[in-house]
Structure 1
Amino acid sequence: MEWRDEGIILGLRKHGETSVIAEVMTHAHGRHLGIVRGGRSKRLQPVLQPGNSVDLVWRARLDEHLGQYQVEVLNARAGRLMESAIGVHGVQAMAALLRLLPERDSHPRLHDAFAVILDSLDTPEQAGALYVRFELAVLEDLGFGLDLSACAATGVRTELIYVSPKSGRAVSAAAGAPWAERMLALPQFLTDRDYPCTNAEMLGQAFRLTGYFLDRHVFEARGIEPPISRESFCTAALRAMPPADPVLPETELMK
């Protein structure tokens, strides 16, 4: 068996004295593991860093075997990512989300989104908003996508400012007013791509929205704790955004 694909390094673990098992999010073959012979060498260590895009050739006698990787670097972005808290925690947080997917299930959209966001993590005003959209895409691919296109109660597509915590559907200002305290806030940048995420309050609302549904449908359902890297990334991204008026304490931004 043999195939060739492009992928992004998620993580490594030692294998024997000189090799590693590389975990890679590939474009066509999903999250896929393989042995890299000599992966702990001085030549390959810089290549096999989380966040780097690589060209892969995978070989195995049978498809179900672990197999071996031959790798060549395509985009050595890991060094740049390690220069900031947003970069370090962003790579780890997205890798943790991708590990929720079944191994070897193809998710080309998530691979491509992962690459785009990694290339934007050095732009703090974009990083948080892109990451939230990545979490929405992961929820959708796991079968728990949110419907933010129209009001669940009336069908209108304007003034969508809430999300029902029960249904995961958008709710308009008028329809949601009687239950406003029970609703999750829906920042406008998630329903209108031409509307930017301009401040920490908006971004905090978005983090709370996706975090709620990840907890409910994924982490609690599987009996696992949310990754610390997500909290660390959210904190770093919020600090990089200008505050809204009035200024809210950092601990209140995701409430």
Structure 2
Amino acid sequence: MDWSGEGYVLSVRKHGETSAIIEVLTRDRGRHAGLVRGGVGRKMRPVLQPGNKIQLDWHARLSEHLGYFTVEALTSRAAELMDDRMALSGLNAVCAIARETLPEREAHPYVYDAFEVLLDNMDNPDIWPALFVQWEAGLLKAMGYGLDLSSCAATGSNDNLTHVSPRSGRAVSASAAEPYLDKLYALPSFMMGQPYVTPEDVHNGLALTGYFLETRVQWGVNRTLPDARAQMITRLTEEGHARAPTPR
């Protein structure tokens, strides 16, 4: 069984003396693994970096086999961002989350498309942190745990939605949220279509999507979120692109 396509490298691990097993994210085949002969050699090492886009040809005798890839470089995102430590931390985080949360060989084209948009904007620190949050929200939806931000869980109103309930994943209006602020997650304005992003919004968005990824997606497989995500948040905070709101 053979197939060809494009995909993004998510992870690489050495196999034997010279080969590597890689995981890639593809639009039509989802997260897919395969062996690359010579994958740890000098020629292939720059190609097989997380975040790089590659042309793939997968070959196996049976579909359930690991199979092997022949690959060709298309874009070298990792090299482009090498001097931008904050963007590189975001690149590592999104690859790690995709690797650890997406089911193997299950296509999620909208997740793939949003992944591509995020990577295309990694050179713009005013844009990509919010895109990262939106990508995680889309990932939750694809996994069957989408947030419902259409109306208030308490009143049914769709006006002035400011928080999200950690129990239901539904939005809550400002008036209904007031007595329970310490129990709710703040809803970033950009997730409601507003055109501006603040460091507080980024912080709140990452806290929101991180909570649901942790408790809905990862809890079922007894795993936490990857360390790369926490490292990204630390970097965003150090650079002033994420900031916890001032207590009221």
Question: Residue 58 of structure 1 aligns with which residue?
Answer: 58
Structure 1 residues 108 and 242 mapped into 2: Cα distance closer, same or farther (>3 Å)?
closer
Looking at structure 2, the residues matched to 121 and 165 of structure 1 have their Cα atoms a distance apart, in angstroms, of 29
In the alignment, structure 1 segments of 5+ residues that lack a partner are 244-249
Deviation at 1:55, TM superposition (A): 0.9
Letter in 2 for 1:235: T
Looking at structure 2, the residues matched to 97 and 41 of structure 1 have their Cα atoms a distance apart, in angstroms, of 26
Question: Residue 247 of structure 1 aligns with which residue?
Answer: none
Question: Residue 94 of structure 1 aligns with which residue?
Answer: 94
Looking at structure 1, the residues matched to 102 and 232 of structure 2 have their Cα atoms a distance apart, in angstroms, of 20
Looking at structure 2, the residues matched to 190 and 128 of structure 1 have their Cα atoms a distance apart, in angstroms, of 12
Structure 1 residues 254 and 214 mapped into 2: Cα distance closer, same or farther (>3 Å)?
farther
Question: Residue 42 of structure 2 aligns with which residue?
Answer: 42
Question: Residue 230 of structure 1 aligns with which residue?
Answer: 229
Deviation at 1:62, TM superposition (A): 0.7
TM-score, length of structure 1 as denominator length: 0.89
Looking at structure 2, the residues matched to 221 and 68 of structure 1 have their Cα atoms a distance apart, in angstroms, of 30
Letter in 2 for 1:167: S
Looking at structure 2, the residues matched to 138 and 240 of structure 1 have their Cα atoms a distance apart, in angstroms, of 26
Deviation at 1:173, TM superposition (A): 1.3
Question: Residue 139 of structure 2 aligns with which residue?
Answer: 138
Alignment of 1:16-31 (within 5 A): 16-31=16-31
SS of corresponding position for 1:61: coil
Of residues 78-87 and 23-32 in structure 1, the stretch that sits farther from structure 2 once superposed is 78-87
Deviation at 1:35, TM superposition (A): 1.0
- 8 A contact 1:85–1:233 mirrored in 2: no
Looking at structure 2, the residues matched to 14 and 42 of structure 1 have their Cα atoms a distance apart, in angstroms, of 13
Question: Is it true that 1:216 corresponds to 2:205 in the alignment?
Answer: no
**RMSD of Structure 2 on Structure 1 (CA):** 2.0
- 8 A contact 1:124–1:241 mirrored in 2: no
Alignment of 1:1-255 (within 5 A): 1-98=1-98, 99-192=100-193, 194-197=194-197, 199-241=198-240, 252-253=244-245
Deviation at 1:106, TM superposition (A): 0.6
Looking at structure 2, the residues matched to 235 and 81 of structure 1 have their Cα atoms a distance apart, in angstroms, of 18
Looking at structure 2, the residues matched to 216 and 70 of structure 1 have their Cα atoms a distance apart, in angstroms, of 37
In the alignment, structure 2 segments of 5+ residues that lack a partner are none
- 8 A contact 1:128–1:234 mirrored in 2: no
Deviation at 1:59, TM superposition (A): 0.8
Deviation at 1:254, TM superposition (A): 10
Count of residues paired in the alignment: 246
